[in-house]
Structure 1
Amino acid sequence: MSGRARGAARSGSSAAVSRRDALRALAASIAAAAAGAAVASEAVDCARRTPDGRIGASLWFAYGGKNREVLLSLVDKFYRSQGIYRIDAVYQGDYFEALAKLRTALAARAAPALTHVVGEVVPYLAEAGVLEPLDRFIRAPPPGHGDIDVVEALGQAGTFVGGGERPLVCLPFNRSTPIAYYNRNVFRELGLSPPSTWDELRATAARLVVRDGASTRRWGFECPVDWWFWAALVGQAGGDVVGPDGTPTLGGDAGVRALRFWQTLVHEDRTMKPPPGRDYNAWQVVNTDFLSGRVAMIWTSTAFLRYLEDNASQAGAGRFEVGAAPLPRDVRASVPTGGTMFVMPRGAAPSAQEAAFAFLRWMMQPEQANSFATRTGYIPVSRRGLKDLTRDGYYAAHPNDRVALDQLAHAAPWPWSPDLFRIQREVVQPRLEEAVLVPRDAAETLSEAVRAARER
């Protein structure tokens, strides 16, 4: 076992403990928040007038860089578009850092009126009773605003199995799928096309690799060793991470096949560079390696489309054209959806809720939904807005943007399971990197993970 692999195993074990402690603390604080819902009107985000005389509400958000700039510009535009409400947008770190802060705020009955959370955590929060049902806000749209009309695959009904049969507690915000990015210049030079199957991915990655003795100057493929991409592989291999009855299966044989595919690329083919770090640190390494030319093909989120296109075109002598393609299939095409949903934590005063939902409704309108999507790379969440973009020729002029949208035809819904987030963060994620880097036997790793997932 290499020093790096031993380090990964040790750090993976300690990371699992810290994640487990964090999740247990989250469960305890959410239970306390739910128990105190009857007196939640004492929340800090209470009825208040801002210094300019408007009704105020807090929005907690969880990303930086270009996407942060786009959101803040829309918050400012909302302020200038009317004279009643003010939204105070506060950055809270990445998705998981923001969730930890939300945990603390829920326990203190000081949650914001509006925030956004990763889709997998919505069932957990909803079943704990700490999310405000949104139906009552939607039933009476103000004049001129019309109904909220979201792309079904990206809303609660399409994101979760049975999601449409439950009270509405979330609306789509920054929604995504994983997609493949490739260096068009290198692909043209080698006469390659984006791979459409797993076998083609192996062959293409091998063609892309450039060795210099024992070192690798350019890798063929890179992907975060992360739950989301593994779930994509599981779906492509014909499996599901959770069965129809809610029992965790982690894909069964398909889950093992998915994990072994990564192991093959890393150890047998030596074409995949496993990025160091965890969570979004690893994702950033993938982006940096791609832009620097250290890897010619990556999987990451459509959320990074504008970022990668803009930076690749400004990379000095190393600048190149970014291509995007669907993820390759195994026995079928399949991708998970990702990104976040807007939710309104319970406990805000009625006036703060009014302000929060006024902003939320405004963000769901075609103009704003399209502005956010086209400036970032996320998928448009407004169905009417999507029709407008198609009619106006946006996708003909920006074919990379079309990739994630077309993949929605193969989107695999998540189960509505309060355990889904625990399975992701506590059970699967800590084991993936160790299994790929060490490597550990894939069947043994997932058998152990299934046992842990079924513990209550």
Structure 2
Amino acid sequence: MKRNKFLAVCASVAVATLALSACSSAAPDSSPSKGKEVTFWGTWSGDQQRQAQEMIDLYNGSQDVYHVTYQAQEIVEQKLLTAMAGGDVPDVVLWDRNQTALYAGKGVLHDLTDLVAKDSVDTSQFYEQAVLEMTHDDKLFGLPLTVDNRSIFYNKTLFEEAGLTPPTTWDELATTASALTVWDGSSLKQAGFSLDDAGLFNIWCYQAGCDLLSEDGTTTAFNSPAGLSVLTFWDQLLNQDKVYKLGFGDGTDPFAEGKLAMKYDGPWAISTYNKVEGLDYGVVEPPTGPNGDKGAGMGGFGLIIPEGAKNVDGAWDFMTWWSTQPENGVKFGEIAGWIPANVEAANNSFFVDDEHYGGLIATMEFAKVRPIVAGYSDVEGLALIPQLQKFLSGESSAETALSTAQSEGDALLSKAAAGR
């Protein structure tokens, strides 16, 4: 309807019924007050955004003081820095926890120490490593929301047919993977174990009893006999036992197709594999290394408040509602499949009694985060992983790969420490 026609209709109704207000083009909102606005940023979109929105709706419906609105951002860290320069930051942000120490050091994040003290929030209710990842200079800059790790996913059908049980040591891993590998001449038909991700070196390093960085965090430490033992074992699996071939199943998921007996994977894969018809799989904690060391990496998301947020109280209320109340952690697990960083919630029967989540929860007991040192993410992404990929593809020896990664990594740490 055009504007002039709209006004004409309203005028005629007013004369006839004295109800001009009923034709107002901006009728008053009769719904109850939404509360003070809390702007929530995160990288989750699509299904993940819809899952998070369910929790947001629960929170908004649980009280009428605050109202949370989620806004998806492609690169939330970059967008946050831009927003700070313009003086218009969100109130709360969901992001990968390993970003916290880096941005806390830049003065981007609000120190939560006083809020924790005021409300007597017990941070020991979270996995200790997750809290550590959101701590900088002995100050807390965020609350952990979810945790994850990589554990061994194995095809139960293939194991039962071969009369095997999941491996608990590196030696058993090699033997079991070999027994479950099937070649037809030069063609790999069934792989015993996947070795397609050099980024999982940290897991193997922990299992081998080696350190990624020196004790003071100023230099790399993976170029060591223990670090070399990891690459030696990879070489055995890949080139001697031939339990895997790089590029196997490219463009497909060989585990879902029943062509891969074992792999490292995390909680994000469970909902997908549970939908695969005929796939019977289990999840167990990673095998121990040569000296009996356990090792697994911990990742996950956390919630932070940016410096300059307009509604700190609302952000804090929302953060604590979601992360410190175990029932809300379990609820989100039921909705989205993520493991809560709240220990009580993670040990709820929903997780521990599940044949898939149970193995991941067991691994959480010894999983630890990557080094919380400025520049380490670059060490891994720009120095270590590229050299490990060269090793796996046969372009470099183990010694050369680790030595080169060490020199490049040390330079990156030095640059980060100097603030350049």
Q: Same fold (TM over 0.5)?
A: yes
Instruction: Give 1:429's match in structure 2, choosing from 382, 385, 394.
Output: 385
Instruction: Give 2:373's match in structure 1, choosing from 400, 412, 417.
Output: 417
3-state DSSP class of the match of 2:255?
A: helix
Which segment drifts farther, 445-454 or 230-239?
445-454
Counterpart check, 1:344 vs 2:305: yes
Shift of 1:155: 3.1
Check conservation: 1:153, 1:408, Cα contact below 8 A.
no
Shift of 1:234: 0.6
Check conservation: 1:239, 1:251, Cα contact below 8 A.
yes
Instruction: Give 2:238's match in structure 1, choosing from 266, 275, 280.
Output: 266
The residue number in structure 2 matching 1:402 is 358
Distance 1:320 1:89, change over 3 A: same
Check conservation: 1:225, 1:432, Cα contact below 8 A.
no
3-state DSSP class of the match of 2:211?
A: coil
Counterpart check, 1:311 vs 2:283: no
Distance 1:224 1:213, change over 3 A: closer
Q: Say which structure, 1 or 2, has more relative contact order (CA 8 Å, 6+ apart).
A: 1
The residue number in structure 2 matching 1:302 is 267
Alignment RMSD:
3.0
Shift of 1:359: 1.3
3-state DSSP class of the match of 2:151?
A: strand
Check conservation: 1:141, 1:147, Cα contact below 8 A.
no
The residue number in structure 2 matching 1:114 is 92
5+ residue gaps, structure 1: 1-49
CA–CA distance in structure 1, aligned partners of residues 87 and 385 of structure 2? 30
Check conservation: 1:179, 1:403, Cα contact below 8 A.
yes
CA–CA distance in structure 1, aligned partners of residues 259 and 385 of structure 2? 25
AA aligned opposite 1:54: G
What whole-Å deviation, never above 9, does each CA across 1:188-228 have from its counterpart, x for those lacking one? Answer: 1111111111122122122222223332222212255143x
Shift of 1:171: 1.3
CA–CA distance in structure 2, aligned partners of residues 127 and 151 of structure 1? 23
The residue number in structure 2 matching 1:155 is 130
How many residues get paired? 378
The residue number in structure 2 matching 1:37 is none
Mapping for residues 306-455 of structure 1, pairs under 5 Å: 306-308=271-273, 310-312=274-276, 315=277, 319-330=278-289, 331=291, 332-349=293-310, 351=311, 353-364=312-323, 365-386=325-346, 389=348, 393-394=349-350, 397-455=353-411
Instruction: Give 1:72's match in structure 2, choosing from 53, 76, 87.
Output: 53
3-state DSSP class of the match of 1:155?
A: helix
User: Which of structures 1 and 2 has the bigger CA Rg?
Assistant: 2
3-state DSSP class of the match of 2:145?
A: strand
Check conservation: 2:283, 2:360, Cα contact below 8 A.
no
Which segment drifts farther, 204-213 or 322-331?
204-213
The residue number in structure 2 matching 1:256 is 228
The residue number in structure 2 matching 1:138 is 116
Mapping for residues 239-254 of structure 1, pairs under 5 Å: 239-253=210-224, 254=226
3-state DSSP class of the match of 1:242?
A: coil
3-state DSSP class of the match of 1:431?
A: helix
Shift of 1:52: 5.7
AA aligned opposite 1:173: L
TM-score by length of 2: 0.80
The residue number in structure 2 matching 1:129 is 107
Shift of 1:245: 1.0
TM-score by length of 1: 0.74
CA–CA distance in structure 1, aligned partners of residues 228 and 179 of structure 2? 26
Check conservation: 1:78, 1:359, Cα contact below 8 A.
yes
Distance 1:441 1:64, change over 3 A: farther
- Percent identity, aligned pairs only, is 24
CA–CA distance in structure 2, aligned partners of residues 423 and 372 of structure 1? 34
Distance 1:219 1:102, change over 3 A: farther
AA aligned opposite 1:322: Y
